[in-house]
Structure 1
């Protein structure tokens, strides 16, 4: 006998189904050509069910983006919580893992592909760029906090400008994501991870108080 879901559990199932359908249709047809009506039909729910969870397509888009990239933001945020490894090692691992998810996590890759290749930031979709900027700002803020924590713990030199280096690391991360999805044959994931390692090696050699932080953890031979 099938188990009956509670109202709360059914609400969660419906929300996930809507997000799954939006992700599929955005990827297949593009954001501008995908309506809430089409998403409702694909998810086999009413438009009212969609509006119960999301006020409009932009809010739905933002939730889809958050679902895919929240683990990355959490990983960056947790870099200040590791007591057994240095902040730079934790930060490097978080960034390398974020790049690796483009190969290992189909949802992350598909949502990021939608963001880069299936979205038009004009007309009614121009508001979508707000969540894109918020996503970048959150990543930069988490990286900046991790670097500041490293300085406070005495792991990084006080000469390190946390704002500049946070921007540098994020630029490398976002640029790598862009290149992997736009130019996969020119920018395979392994090569991009090696580039990330090289960046952290340079930062570590200049600002790290520990030699181990300057040693690459990924084989680039």
Structure 2
């Protein structure tokens, strides 16, 4: 019985997160009420408060959903620059196809605009990029003169701006193209010329196949 109750509780929690993602994606943090979350989730308000004591706690939990995109990176034996390129396309795919990722990123941007902004989500992505770029630089794939922390910070800021612009202009329909542009323009500045052909700005064949994208031209 305890296992059944635990399973039901987990199902309810996931339903709440799904409902909250739809609500936050549509209206943002300030424009969403817990009543709307309950309606989208199909649960009672009591069930919601059992799992999440406040709207902010729910939003904070949802913000962490974006990091599922990078959850496999720590297990990689040899992360590198292509890992970061592929991550940017995986994130682009998440923003287009996964409402939890879209809601998480919208919340991050909104929380970053508050009086007391929270930099932790950005710092997490910067650290993920840095952890891939550091061994890449040691292998000679990133110019030795560059500070990988600065490169990682630039990448996260650039992707943030690109995805917002893509959202406003095309509802992110062109996001993979814009991310590919980012890498086409950036690689000559951070990679030794002789090594540039090693990297696929549009994502590795394995990544594109995983995401259901057509092979790069």
Q: Does 1:70 align with 2:67?
A: yes
Q: 2:76 aligns with which of 75, 81, 93?
A: 81
The answer to whether the 8 A contact 1:96-1:196 is kept is no
28 and 144 in structure 1: CA distance in 2 versus 1, 3 angstrom threshold? closer
- Residue 91 (str. 1) matches residue 84 (str. 2): yes
User: Which whole-Å deviations, capped at 9, do the CAs of 1:127-170 have from their partners, x for residues lacking one?
Assistant: 7x43xx22111001111121112233444343221111111111
C-alpha change, 1:185 and 1:106, in structure 2 (3 Å) is closer
Higher alpha-carbon Rg: 1
Structure 1 counterpart of 2:18: 20
The equivalent position to 1:135 in structure 2, one of 121, 130, 134, is 121
Asked if the contact 2:69–2:94 (Cα under 8 Å) also holds between the matched residues in 1, the reply is: no
Equivalent residue for 1:189?
Answer: 175
How far did 1:98 drift? Answer: 1.7
Contact 1:200 1:214 in 2 (8 A): no
CA distance, structure 2, for counterparts of residue 42 and residue 187 of structure 1: 26
Q: Which residue of 2 aligns with 1:167?
A: 153
CA contact (8 A) 1:156 1:209 kept: no
**Whole-Å separation in 2 of the counterparts to 1:119 and 1:139:** 16
Structure 2 residue aligned with 1:35: 33
Query: Alignment partner of 2:170: what SS?
Result: coil
The verdict on how the C-alpha distance between 1:151 and 1:201 changes in structure 2, with shifts beyond 3 A counting, is closer
**What TM-score, normalized by structure 2, do the two folds share?**
0.75
Q: CA RMSD in A?
A: 3.4
List runs of 5+ in structure 1 lacking aligned partners.
none
Residues 194 and 220, structure 1, Cα contact 8 Å, conserved in 2: no
For residues 211 and 199 of structure 1, do their structure 2 counterparts lie closer, same or farther at Cα, with a shift above 3 Å needed? closer
Residue 56 and residue 173 in structure 1: after superposition, are their counterparts in 2 closer, same or farther (change >3 A)? same
* Gapped regions of structure 2 (runs ≥ 5): 204-214
Confirm or deny: 8 A CA contact 2:82 2:200 kept in the other structure.
no
Looking at structure 2, the residues matched to 205 and 159 of structure 1 have their Cα atoms a distance apart, in angstroms, of 11
- 2-structure distance, mates of 1:204, 1:136: 21
**What is the CA deviation profile of residues 13-43 of structure 1, one whole-angstrom value per residue up to 9, with x for unaligned ones?**
1111111222222334442243324423443
State yes or no: 1:212 paired with 2:197: yes
1:58 aligned partner? 56
Structure 1 position 107, deviation (Å): 4.1
Question: Normalization by structure 1: what TM-score?
Answer: 0.74
Residues 196-207 of structure 1 correspond to what in structure 2 (within 5 A)? 196-206=182-192
